[in-house]
Amino acid sequence: GAFLVVRDITSYKAMQEDLLFQALTDELTSLYNRRGFKIMAEQELRHCQRLDTDVVLLSIDIDAFKVINDTFGHGEGDRVLRLVAKTLRSSFRSTDIIARWGGDEFLVLALDAPIGTVDILTDRFKQSLVDISRTNALPFTIEVTVGCSSREGKTLMSLEQMVQHADRAMYANKRR
């Protein structure tokens, strides 16, 4: 005789996928969170180094975000975060890695993007924020400050170093 046990694990697999999604994404914006960004970016940086392609990392901070929260409330602040996330998704390529790094700061790892394209990328994104501010009839215009770090081809620079460099550049731009 034979004994057979059959078990439907469909709901278990769905729960596993849901937990993985929750562990790697930001709940408010549905962008990658820090953990998700690090996992994806580290993999892509290794891939880009092997293929000898350029990579640009943008550090983006929403200007006057505290004022928005204090003046219009946290609900409006959350709305701004979601609008920035939506604009990031539409302004950058689907192959680029986008994350809410924390608070009102976002990171974009633009793959196979030469350093000369940074101004084009950031200008397009900033203009899209102006447009989305008007379209959504916000009582203010969403503005951001951007810092950049790049890694050319086989240059050895870790993700952590790129983030630190882009952050320093962003804060230097904020002081201007």
Mean pLDDT, each 10-residue run in order, the chain (176 residues): 78 70 87 96 90 92 96 96 97 95 96 84 94 93 96 80 96 92
Round to whole Å and give the CA distance between 135 and 4.
61
Round to whole Å and give the CA distance between 57 and 97.
9
Does residue 28 contact residue 99 with C-beta atoms inside 8 Å? no
**What is this structure's pTM?**
0.87
Which tokens hold the place of 110? 């633009």
Give the number of C-alpha atoms closer than 13 A to the C-alpha of residue 69, restricted to the C-beta side: 11
